[in-house]
Amino acid sequence: MALRRKKQVEPNRDAPDLGFGTQLGDEVSRFINRDGGFDIRKEGNRGYYAYEQLVEMSWTRFFLVVVSYFIGINLLFALLFGLVGLDHIAGMSSLSTLGGLAEAFFFSVQTFTSVGYGVLHPVGGGANMLASLDALVGLMSFALATGLFFSRFARPIAKIAFSNIGLITPFRDGHSFQMRMVNKRNNHLINMEARMMVTWVGTGADGVRKRQFSMLDLDLNRISLFPMNWTLVHPITQESPLWEKTAEDLRDMNVEILVMVQGFDETYHQEIHARASYVGEEIRWGVKFSPMFRTESGQPTIVDLSRLDTTQPLAV
């Protein structure tokens, strides 16, 4: 079978650089959630990534896991001490089995955490070996917890807040789509770059209704420093897919405007990335953003994060 035989098949990919393909059409209401994630679930042989989960779960759930593990592993050791024989733990005061197991649990905790008061202590080879294992497991668990704590903290989830709304608003002698963002934290983000894309469901050149993608030019797509808020401005020229569209058009086209920013976090010395997206009902018309900052002579400039979504009527 030589490669010379030609055959016409439709291209399965003519979009620019998003990784969604063109087969997802009207049934997908939005690609990027407001939190920057995707509405996609993976199944099949994913393997089991315990560390990934332990790093990414919420703090509440993380502490629940830590406490559950702590109780569970010490209960296990209490049972193992029970198997070896509770009489091999000297210093017990309980006579009942249940009370003895409770004391064995506390003895295990004292060994696992390396507190070792010594009132309870192992007697004989079996109990001593089990106690040694208990202490080793405790130390290793703790080493693991230290790594997890650090990993959880060191993940610089970029705290860039994006405006919940985008605006179609005048710009120069035409119109523009605008949204804005601000760094919520005091760390310095530098060398910020932004890209804006639009996706909509429309009829392509081949007459098939499918998802389209296009980049949107920005008036300014990079800033060196990011001390205040940053407003991204897409001038709606004749080349823009938004040219001469009405609010109803945008909703009919199932429009989603995607914003991707990246930069460098000087505090954590790492690249950071963030995303936002705007669908039809999140786009306001006929207003402009109000300034977010105020200055007083001799005082630091104040950037008020609560004004991120604040707009004002257009000047007449």
Q: Which residue has the tokens 């460098």?
A: 264
**Contact between 270 and its own copies (CB under 8 A)?**
yes
CB neighbourhood size of 108 (10 A)? 27
Rounded distance, CA 286 to CA 284, Å? 7
Least distance (Å) from its own copies to the CB of residue 284? 11
Least distance (Å) from its own copies to the CB of residue 205? 14
Least distance (Å) from its own copies to the CB of residue 84? 14
From residue 114 to residue 133, the character string flagging contacts with its own copies as x (rule: CB under 8 A) and all else as - is xxxxxxxxxx-x--xx-xx-
| Stretch of 35-43, 79-87, 202-210, 276-284 lying at the interface with its own copies (CB under 8 A) | 35-43
212 closest CA partner among 76, 51, 10, 16: 16
Which helix (H) or strand (E) segment holds residue 275: the answer is: strand 270-279
**Contact between 75 and its own copies (CB under 8 A)?**
no
Least distance (Å) from its own copies to the CB of residue 209? 16
Near its own copies by CB under 8 A: residue from 143, 164, 203, 290: 143
**Contact between 313 and its own copies (CB under 8 A)?**
no
According to DSSP, the residues that pair with 90 across neighbouring strands are 121
Distances (CA, A) of 88 to 96, 125, 133, 159, 195: 15, 9, 15, 55, 68
Near its own copies by CB under 8 A: residue from 68, 97, 290, 295: 295
Near its own copies by CB under 8 A: residue from 81, 200, 230, 278: 230
**Contact between 252 and its own copies (CB under 8 A)?**
no
- Residues from 199 through 218 that contact its own copies (CB under 8 A): none
Q: Checking DSSP bridges between strand 222-225 and strand 189-203, what pairing results, if any?
A: antiparallel
| Stretch of 38-46, 79-87, 199-207, 276-284 lying at the interface with its own copies (CB under 8 A) | 38-46
Helix 97-112 to helix 59-84 angle (10° resolution) is: 120
Q: Which residue has the tokens 């016409």?
A: 8
Q: Count residues near its own copies (CB under 8 A).
A: 150
**Contact between 43 and its own copies (CB under 8 A)?**
yes
Rounded distance, CA 272 to CA 260, Å? 11
